[in-house]
Amino acid sequence: GKSLCYQMACLLQPCISFVVCPIISLIQDQEFNTREFGIDRVGRIESQMGTLDKTKVIDDFGRGKYFFVWVSPERFQMVNFRSQLSEIQARRHFGYAVIDEVHCLSEWGHDFRVSYLKLYGTIKNFCPEAQTLALTATASRNVLEDLLCELEITKANVQTSSSLDR
């Protein structure tokens, strides 16, 4: 359900988007599942791929071949990737910057994945027109309060389910 929220939003836009995802196996599963539903204009960039494959995906993404690509948060701390985003930004319109499993920003960002804490600022700096869509199914009250601060949003911008029934 949560993945469908961002996937449909991205597919319905006349632009390109990217999805930041914290776990390689989740990135791979999301891409596989999306392709299984017949949506093949998606890609991924993750550390288990070869350099040439990653370069091809980002080049194709910049040419508009993909509706969206999945990337890890650490990729946004790489100078080369930031340059590629800037080049794409000059030619294409970014619709959404999706942060999937956004609770990890709070739960992991302060301890061992510092790139998460810098993620929102980096996205805003290199993709300023992208609308941020941050999703999680597991945010405690403390995590939510931290996310409000880190993402510079108010509670009015937060949608929660009143039921745990999925």
Name the band, by pLDDT with cuts 50, 70 and 90, for residue 117.
Answer: confident
Name the band, by pLDDT with cuts 50, 70 and 90, for residue 154.
Answer: confident
For the stretch 72-101, pLDDT in tens is 888 998 999 999 999 999 999 999 999 998
- pLDDT for the residue numbered 113: 67
Strand order in the sheet with 42-45: 42-45, 68-71, 16-20, 94-100, 131-135
Greater confidence (149 vs 117) lies with 149
The fraction of the chain above a pLDDT of 70, given in percent, is 92
* Section 118-146 average pLDDT: 87
Separation CA 46–CA 28 (nearest Å): 9
- pLDDT for the residue numbered 37: 92
Residue 118 is a catalytic residue: no
For the stretch 23-56, pLDDT in tens is 899 999 999 999 999 999 999 999 899 999 999 9
Calculate the alpha carbon distances from 115 to 36, 90, 111 in Å. Answer: 31, 24, 10
- pLDDT for the residue numbered 59: 96
Mean pLDDT of the chain: 87
Is residue 99 left, alpha or beta, with left meaning phi > 0 and alpha meaning psi from -120 to 50?
beta
- pLDDT for the residue numbered 139: 77
**Residue 17 DSSP symbol:** E
Q: Strand ranges (DSSP E) for 21-108? A: 42-45, 68-71, 94-100
Q: Is 88 within 8 Å of 62 (Cβ atoms)?
A: yes
Whose CA is closest to 28, among 63, 66, 80, 71? 71
Separation CA 86–CA 12 (nearest Å): 23
Separation CA 49–CA 149 (nearest Å): 34
Name the band, by pLDDT with cuts 50, 70 and 90, for residue 70.
Answer: very high
pTM above 0.85, yes or no: yes
